[in-house]
Chains A and B, each alone.
Chain A
Amino acid sequence: GQNIDQPTEMTATEGAIVQINCTYQTSGFNGLFWYQQHAGEAPTFLSYNVLDGLEEKGRFSSFLSRSKGYSYLLLKELQMKDSASYLCAVRDGNTNAGKSTFGDGTTLTVKP
């Protein structure tokens, strides 16, 4: 099985940098996803890490340490539209399914 932990809520200021952490304990691991979900909408893909290290994509970066069971999502130059829930999801390594187990999400509020 999978156990994924994220902070429930975070608040940050427009223009600032915020780091959202995710820790996981899994029986298998085959990659970690980050998704963004605005209220009432479907999740949208942000990043996928399968190897250790930092993946940068514009204002968003994602880091993975498999030995520590740890990932973070870094958001730079925060904008009001970044207010959303950020979901960490671990891909099951025990099958070929690609099935992912999701955390409960971190609700980020960006204030002016």
Chain B
Amino acid sequence: DTGVSQDPRHKITKRGQNVTFRCDPISEHNRLYWYRQTLGQGPEFLTYFQNEAQLEKSRLLSDRFSAERPKGSFSTLEIQRTEQGDSAMYLCASSLGLGKETQYFGPGTRLLVL
């Protein structure tokens, strides 16, 4: 148990619907990352927070994706107007920061867009 939790674990939605995922990092960790992973590939970076500030966002991330970390603790990732190509595992990871950059991953949210 790494201490990072994600909710829900699985989500099935219809194309065009909006979905929101939640990540609760390890409590003392300052940095929080979102990745997307499809079968046979490694995790692909989406976005990153240092406390409540979103410091980097992948160019691959379309305007339909938005993430927040309002109080520097939990984070949400929203996908608007979902497309079938959004089907993937969405992974959240956290790290302590301050030179301690090992990322600890949550169990992921598996999204299926029909």
A residues whose Cβ falls under 8 Å from a Cβ of B = 4, 30-31, 33, 35, 41-45, 48, 87, 89, 91, 95, 97-105
Contacts and interface: CB of A to CB of B under 8 A. Distances in A.
A45 B108 contact: no
Nearest to A100: B103
Nearest to B96: A98
Given A45-B103, A98-B97, 18 more contacts: A33-B102, A35-B105, A42-B105, A42-B106, A42-B107, A43-B105, A48-B102, A87-B42, A91-B101, A97-B31, A99-B33, A99-B48, A100-B45, A102-B43, A102-B44, A104-B40, A104-B41, A105-B40
Contacts, number: 57
Contacts of A91: 101
B102 A42 contact: no
B60 interface: no
A45 B104 contact: yes
A33 B42 CA distance: 13
A43 B103 CA distance: 9
Interface of B: 2, 31, 33, 35, 40-45, 48, 50, 55-56, 91, 95, 97, 101-108
- Top 6 nearest A-B pairs by Cβ distance? A102-B42, A98-B101, A42-B105, A104-B42, A102-B43, A104-B41
Contacts of B42: 4, 87, 89, 102-105
Contacts of B33: 99
Contacts of A98: 31, 95, 97, 101, 103
Central interface residue in B35, B50, B105, B107, by most chain A CB within 10 Å: B105
A5 B104 CA distance: 23
A41 B40 CA distance: 13
Contacts of A44: 2, 105
